[in-house]
Structure 1
Amino acid sequence: MRSFLVDSNVFVEALKGNADAQILLSKLFHSNCRVFINDVVFSEVFYHYLRIRVGSYWRAKKKPELVKSAVQEFEDVVLPLLAIPDFLEVNYDVVTIAVRLSSEYGLLSNGALMLPTAEYYGVEALVSLDSDFLDACKREGISLISSPNELEG
């Protein structure tokens, strides 16, 4: 059975109305494949949703009622979507691999945690709209899926 780790940018872009991201998620969630996220993905999707709904960090700090309302919307709309994939834990082994990959490929911290999560748990493909993963995935032996058409193969 094929397995996929979905990056936060796919969820964020789907929430913004990106049709390719929406199709990617729909195809994954309606397949017989194993679909995963990690805690980094949850955190980034939650953060970006609040930024979209509330605005800047300082606006959110000064308007707790806006934050409460946005969190309720998140719980009603987005959280069920994030409950479909299984969670993979970012542990110390994943973190140490991430530091190596960040140094080797120039990946930033949260992005650097995606590829080693896939490697550590034996997930065959990373689903991401981030082209920063092209070289790293290829050299690390993890398939990169960036469009709905690539899921067919």
Structure 2
Amino acid sequence: MGSLTAFVDTNVIIEHLEGNIDLLDIMERFNVLYSNSIVFSEALMVYLRALTGERPYTLKHNPGIIRNLREELLDFSRLFELFLDLEINRAVETLAVEYMIKYGLLPNDALILATCKFHDVKYLISFDSDFANACEKEGISLLSTQGEITGLGDVP
């Protein structure tokens, strides 16, 4: 079998951080896992809110809260060493706007799908059903259940 690569959406990382899934199990099925700066930012904000219980406005106006999370933030950053980062360039941004118009996706979801398409990533691992129609139309396989992820590559 050839090289299996997949893009990992924010919600998969959040499920990992909550202890519901293990990214290392997913890594066993793929040669390379990708993310981008959108996924990093979204997951980091969810992580900050989970750690502090604070809203973004409160965090913005109380930088000491964030400064006191040094070890947790470094651990979070190390988690992303599991992924290769795919660039969001002007072509990806333009494609994302097209996907917003064509499929009604929100900006971050459109940027994630456009990143996959532009970089020729065939699999998107996400528990977000908003991607289903768009992925199908764009020739990207959406893996949205643990069974789909772990069953990939199995010989029937």
2:31 to 26, 30, 33: 33
Q: Is this contact kept in 2: 1:124–1:143, CA < 8 A?
A: yes
Q: TM-score, normalised on structure 2?
A: 0.88
The gaps in structure 2 that reach 5 residues or longer are: none
Deviations along 1:86-114, one digit per CA (max 9) or x if unpaired, are 00000000011100001111100011111
Opposite residue 100 of structure 1, the aligned amino acid is E
RMSD value, Cα: 1.5
How many correspondences in the alignment? 148
Answering whether residue 17 of structure 2 is matched by residue 15 of structure 1, we say yes
Q: TM-score, normalised on structure 1?
A: 0.89
Query: Match of 2:59?
Result: 60
Identity within the alignment, %: 35
Query: Match of 1:132?
Result: 130
2:7 alignment partner, SS class: strand
Query: Match of 2:76?
Result: 78
The gaps in structure 1 that reach 5 residues or longer are: none
Query: Match of 1:112?
Result: 110
Counterpart Cα distance in 2 of 1:30 and 1:13: 17
Counterpart Cα distance in 2 of 1:71 and 1:129: 30
Query: Match of 2:143?
Result: 145
Opposite residue 138 of structure 2, the aligned amino acid is E
The alpha-carbon deviation at position 71 of structure 1 amounts to 4.5
